[in-house]
Amino acid sequence: MKLRLNVDELNDDFFEETRLLGITAPVKNYQFCLQLNNHLGYDFRLNADIEIHLRKKDRSYYFSVYQSVEPNSFLTHYLYHNQYDGEYLLPEFKHMDFLWLMKGDLVDDEKCEWIKQAVRSINGVQLVAELTNEQIRNKGNMVF
């Protein structure tokens, strides 16, 4: 008997109860994280353990993931850099520089709206938009 891994199901589980924002801000990762930490009170830090490694056309691509845990809750924020050396983590969103995933606890519309407005107020940010699961074709690329 062969067991088959249902990747779509795994991806759906990973994204259950999550919110995802796409952010256009042509600034360096660490500068953007510093601004989020200073202006919004987060504690984004690089988490090398969950860096995304993709192989395409015999080349390796590494996408940084920054992490901030919300105190007194199960909510964790993940900030992915969407671009590395001309490749994209989510090619369907080439215009997005960063992907902000909120996972582990429910984020209501009010909080999500507050985050979007707060991020929009940061210098260098051109666009903040919520992305729906249906829009994401390469979900599996974000799973760590």
Q: What is the pLDDT of residues 42-62, one digit of tens each?
A: 999 999 999 999 998 899 999
Give one DSSP letter per residue of 99-131, joined into a string: EEEEESS---HHHHHHHHHHHHTSTT--EEEEE
pLDDT one-digit tens code per residue, 98-129: 999 999 999 999 999 999 999 999 999 999 99
Check residue 17 and give its pLDDT: 87
Q: What angle do CA 40, 82, 48 make, to 5 degrees?
A: 75
The two most distant CA atoms of the chain are separated, in Å, by: 57
| pLDDT exceeds cutoff 80 at 84 | yes
Q: Which domains does the chain have, with CATH numbers?
A: 18-142 (3.30.310)
